[in-house]
A and B are shown apart, each in its own frame.
Chain A
Amino acid sequence: MSQTKVLLLDGGMRKNGTSSSLAKTIKRQVENKGQTAEITRLVEYFDGKHMISELKTILNKSDIIGIIAPCYVNTFPYADIWCLEQLICGYQKEWQGKMLFAVAQGGMPDLKVHQSILHVSEHFAEETEMKWAGGLIIGMAPLIDGAPLENCGFIGRRLVKNMDRMVDRLLDFGHIPSALQNKITIDIPKILNYPLAFFLNYIVKSSLKKGGAGDPYHKPYCS
């Protein structure tokens, strides 16, 4: 029996950022189940390090494609959208019937603000006649900040466990169940957003101090 080939498109801008960490976990989980997985970084196609034609070739050889991307201003970063546009320019019938899933990650705990990544991926699947397998949204991603999920305590362990279930479903060519989203979602009562903001501001202030920035309230574009 031939192996299932999974292609993971890392949409992160940082080489070792959170998208990369999530992609590495999925790759490991696929390989542990005896199948093959490959990660490729979309920004490297944008930067001209690789040709889009090379990406199309890898896509042709894959059975399941996953996009793992950060949320910038509510949706995919510019470079990722550019790559999707380039891919659709040379839309190939070979992609018909392949499975596409997405994992979105962003800073805000409210998952609605990251929803567009799944919508865009779903419409991309429709336009390329791929089979949309659904996806997951991970909020409060700065708590991971590129670290291996296994090192992220309770949050990381919960993600690893449920992403493994996601991989099981994908390798069975099934749709990612919405119950998995509920399992990875940390439902914070709104009142706890006040101490959370305090905690996040503490992290921001520490990094500002470390970076040696001047006035964080500087308004460079005021006339």
Chain B
Amino acid sequence: MHITVLDGIEGISQLEDLLKLTGEQYGISYTYLKLEKMDIQPCRNCGGCSTKTPGECLFKDDTPEVMKSLVKSNLVIMATPIRFGGFNSILKKALDKCALLGLPFFKVDKGSLYHPGRYGETMFTSLIIGISRSHSEKQKQSFRQLAKQNAAIMRVPYQAVIVEDNDMLQVKDVILSLLREEQYI
């Protein structure tokens, strides 16, 4: 059992401490990635990851560290403040690179087109945490829809939760209940 945390929260976040405690308590290995401090270049849509170096970005940055952890994970936790009803740029810089996890080819499932996974189907369960600071219900709804579409395109089971004001106790409860549901603890 391995967890990857893509922490897109700006500044100090208690997510690492929370994971450390949970990991130690239940003997779970995890990789915590504070994305704000990582050098991840934007995807330039150059196509090089398909046509020149399949599955790898031509630009040299910290992307391999993220990918190596994602491909061995059972659970991926993504955290971001809700930004205009979506993800902030810090989380998005890592998410854009997740295209590397897919093949360039197309397949059809239940009538819909999708890119099959480079590392197999249904790689991990995804938990998407949106930090709200009194955001409108409309923005929260947009965030939930984006999380749903994101999980659908990655073809992974997911949960999206919105917590008010960085409420880490709620985040802890959600993580523990997800781990119980998936029978990891």
In this assembly, does B71 line the interface, its C-beta being within 8 Å of a C-beta of chain A?
yes
Q: Which of A57-65, A112-120, A147-155 contacts B (4 or more CB under 8 A)?
A: A112-120
| Bound CA–CA A185/B62 (angstroms) | 39
| Bound CA–CA A208/B53 (angstroms) | 10
Give the secondary structure class of A's interface.
Answer: helix
Task: Decide: B99 and A218 in contact? CB cutoff 8 A.
Answer: no
Task: Decide: B83 and A73 in contact? CB cutoff 8 A.
Answer: no
Collect the chain A residues with CB atoms within 8 Å of residue B64's CB. 220-221
The answer to whether residues A204 and B105 also contact, given A75-B86, A76-B86, A213-B54 and a CB cut-off of 8 A, is yes
Q: Which range holds the interface residue count of chain A?
A: 35 or more
- Known A78-B96, A196-B113, A220-B67; 10 more pairs at CB < 8 Å: A73-B95, A119-B142, A119-B146, A193-B113, A204-B50, A211-B47, A211-B52, A216-B103, A219-B118, A221-B68
The answer to whether residues A81 and B92 also contact, given A74-B150, A218-B54 and a CB cut-off of 8 A, is yes
Distance between A127 CB and nearest chain B CB, rounded to angstroms = 7
The answer to whether residues A72 and B99 also contact, given A82-B89, A123-B139, A207-B47 and a CB cut-off of 8 A, is yes
Q: Which of A12, A75, A197 is the one whose CB lies under 8 Å from B108? A: A197
Task: Decide: A193 and B149 in contact? CB cutoff 8 A.
Answer: no
| Bound CA–CA A46/B54 (angstroms) | 26
In this assembly, does B157 line the interface, its C-beta being within 8 Å of a C-beta of chain A?
no
Task: Decide: B146 and A213 in contact? CB cutoff 8 A.
Answer: no
The answer to whether residues A110 and B84 also contact, given A72-B96, A72-B99, A123-B138 and a CB cut-off of 8 A, is no
Give the top 9 A-B pairs by smallest Cβ distance, nearest first.
Answer: A211-B51, A190-B111, A119-B142, A82-B89, A123-B84, A197-B106, A81-B89, A123-B85, A218-B54
What are 27 of the A-B contact pairs (CB < 8 Å)? Answer: A13-B42, A13-B43, A70-B45, A72-B45, A73-B98, A73-B150, A73-B153, A75-B87, A77-B45, A78-B89, A78-B92, A81-B87, A113-B149, A116-B85, A119-B86, A119-B145, A122-B85, A123-B139, A190-B111, A193-B108, A197-B107, A204-B105, A207-B47, A208-B104, A219-B118, A220-B55, A220-B56
Task: Decide: B86 and A213 in contact? CB cutoff 8 A.
Answer: no
Binary interface encoding of chain B residues 129-153 relative to chain A, with 1 for a CB under 8 A from any of its CBs, else 0: 0000000101100100110011011
Task: Decide: B54 and A216 in contact? CB cutoff 8 A.
Answer: yes
Task: Decide: A200 and B84 in contact? CB cutoff 8 A.
Answer: no
Q: Which of A70, A81, A113 is the one whose CB lies under 8 Å from B86? A: A81
